[in-house]
Amino acid sequence: MSWKTNVPLIAILRGITQQEVDEHVSILIASGFDAIEIPLNSPEWEVSIKGMVDKFGSRALIGAGTVLNVANVERLAAMGCKMIVTPNTNPAVIRRSVELGMTVCAGCATATEAFTALDAGAQALKIFPSSAFGPEYVKALKAVLPADVPVFAVGGVTPENLHLYMSAGCIGAGLGGDLYKAGQSPERTRQQAEFFIKAYKEVKQ
């Protein structure tokens, strides 16, 4: 399996509004991000996701997070959404997303959930919440997974600890509150994006 972005860091913009999403996504893409997740518990997510797909869909993998049911999968596909990220392991959501041609990063915490997600067709896994398990747990879980499965650490990943999760076998990470908190300034987003990109590049050197 392969991940479809140049930089395997997923920017999670939980709580972002349609009025500010354009500026923050522009900053993230300019900083080097090419995977953007707008969770469905954000205000007016349909407007934000559709707008970002239309404007940036050729430059980044624009997707949705906290996707919990098949009805939303179908709504997202109709908008041109290309990435589905789930907090849990729901085979029906995964299968329908794959059928509709979307990349799925499925949330899981155990080996059973991980293999259930892979059996349903998920192309990538997110270990969530990673901070509750730690890099050693991720390393142990990765040892039993197929070597070519992209694994992301999500939950509590910072520029300072990113290298620990990547050393444990993660291809990258999903970045939430340490990258973007609802209502923060564009300058804060730029600063944190640069910190994360720098941290990623240092690991890859």
Catalytic residues: 37, 126
Tokens of 159: 């520029």
Which residues does 39 contact at the CB level (< 8 Å), separation at least 6? 12, 13, 14, 15, 45, 64, 65, 66
Written in H, E and C, the secondary structure of the chain is CCCCCCCCEEEECCCCCCCCHHHHHHHHHHHCCCEEEEECCCCCHHHHHHHHHHHHCCCCEEEEECCCCHHHHHHHHHHCCCEEECCCCCHHHHHHHHHCCCEEEEEECCHHHHHHHHHCCCCEEEECCHHHHCHHHHHHHHHHCCCCCCEEEECCCCCCCHHHHHHCCCCEEEECCCCCCCCCCHHHHHHHHHHHHHHHHHHHC
